[in-house]
Amino acid sequence: MEQQRTIQKRVRYLEEKAKEVRVEIVKMIHEAQSGHPGGSLSAADIMTALYFDILRIDPNKPEWPDRDRFVLSKGHACPVWYACLALKGFFPIETLKTLRKFESKLQGHPIAGKAEGIDASVGSLGIGFSQAVGMAIEAKMTRSKYMVYTVLGDGETNEGIVWEAAASAHKYHLDNLVAVLDRNNLQNDGIAEQIMPMEPLDEKFKAFNWHVIQINGHNMADVVDALMKARDYSGKPVIIIANTVKGKGVSYMENVRGWHGKPPNDEQLAIALEDLKGSLK
The sign one gets for the Cα dihedral 81, 38, 199, 195 is negative
The Cα–Cα gap between 97 and 106 comes to 9
- As measured in angstroms, the least distance from the Cβ of 158 to another protein is 3
Query: Counting contacts by CB under 5 A, is residue 184 touching Mg ion?
Result: yes
* Shortest reach from residue 108's CB to ligand TPP, in Å: 11
Question: Of Mg ion, ligand TPP, another protein, none, which one sits near residue 74, judging by CB under 5 to 8 A according to partner kind?
Answer: ligand TPP
Contact 256, 268 (CB under 8 A): no
| Burial class, 171, CB count within 10 angstroms (exposed 0-12 / middle 13-18 / buried 19+) | exposed
Report the nearest approach of ligand TPP to the CB of residue 40 (Å): 8
Separation of alpha carbons 69 and 174, rounded Å: 14
- Distance, in Å, from the CA atom of 120 to the CA atom of 144, rounded to the nearest integer, reads 18
Say which entry of ligand TPP, Mg ion, another protein, none residue 121 contacts (CB below 5 to 8 A, set by partner kind): another protein
Site stretch for ligand TPP (CB under 6 A), options 10-18, 179-187, 201-209, 272-280: 179-187
Contact footprint for another protein (CB under 8 A) = 32, 34, 75, 100-104, 107-109, 111, 121-126, 155-156, 158-160, 187-189, 195-196, 257, 261
Cα angle for residues 200, 237, 50 (degrees, 5° grid):
95
Q: How far apart are CB 74 and ligand TPP at their closest, in Å?
A: 5
CB nearer ligand TPP, residue 19 or residue 246: 246
100 binds ligand TPP (CB under 6 A): no
Does 186 interact with ligand TPP (rule: CB under 6 A)? yes
With CB under 6 A as the contact rule, the residue among 48, 246, 247, 263 that binds ligand TPP is 246
Find the part of the chain contacting Mg ion (CB under 5 A) among 43-51, 146-154, 159-167, 204-212: 146-154
Complex with another protein: residue 124 or 265, whichever CB lies closer: 124
Q: Binding residues for ligand TPP, per CB under 6 A?
A: 38-39, 42, 74, 76-77, 123-125, 153-156, 182, 184, 186-188, 192, 246, 260
Instruction: By CB under 5 A, name the binding residues for Mg ion.
Output: 153-155, 184, 186-187
